């Protein structure tokens, strides 16, 4: 636990801190993988994750490609989560890491 605020920007979740520069590097690697999978600007990526580092990495990766990250409530029911089908315009789903 930090006793005083850090001047460094980043994501703090519990006791884990990822600096902004590292977060951007991780997002760039993820964006590269999405691009290789055929995801392009203007497409929608459904993201089913908790609000911690992987969520931000996925969201930033989508944004780097010009795709639209759509967060899905991970507390929601399966019926609600599956409502985001390909017919609803989603091209990719990004589930929570295990």
Here the CATH number for the domain that contains residue 44 is 3.40.50.980
Q: Does 84 reside within a domain?
A: yes
Number of domains composing the chain:
1
**Can you tell me the distance from the alpha carbon of 92 to that of 98, in angstroms, rounded to the nearest whole number?**
18
Q: Does 1 reside within a domain?
A: no
Q: Does 3 reside within a domain?
A: no
In this structure, what token pair is assigned to residue 33?
């993988």
CA 84 vs. chain centroid, Å, equals: 16
Mean pLDDT of 76-96: 58
**Which residue segment(s) compose the domain that 77 sits in?**
10-95
Residue identified by tokens 């392009």 is 40
Q: Tell me: the pLDDT tens digits for 34-83?
A: 999 998 999 888 888 888 888 999 999 999 999 988 888 776 666 655 55
Q: Does 33 reside within a domain?
A: yes
Q: Does 5 reside within a domain?
A: no
**How many CB atoms are located within 10 Å of the residue 98 CB?**
3
Q: Does 40 reside within a domain?
A: yes
Binning pLDDT at 50, 70 and 90, where does residue 90 land?
low
């Amino acid at each position: 636990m930090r006793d005083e605020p850090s001047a460094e920007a980043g994501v703090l979740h519990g006791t884990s801190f990822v600096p902004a520069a590292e977060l951007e590097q991780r997002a760039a690697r993820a964006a590269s993988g999405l691009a290789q999978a055929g995801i392009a600007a203007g497409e929608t990526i459904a993201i089913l994750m908790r609000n911690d580092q992987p969520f931000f990495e996925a969201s930033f990766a989508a944004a780097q490609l010009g795709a639209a990250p759509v967060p899905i409530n991970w507390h929601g029911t399966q019926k609600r989560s599956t409502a985001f089908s390909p017919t609803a315009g989603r091209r990719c789903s990004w589930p929570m890491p295990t």
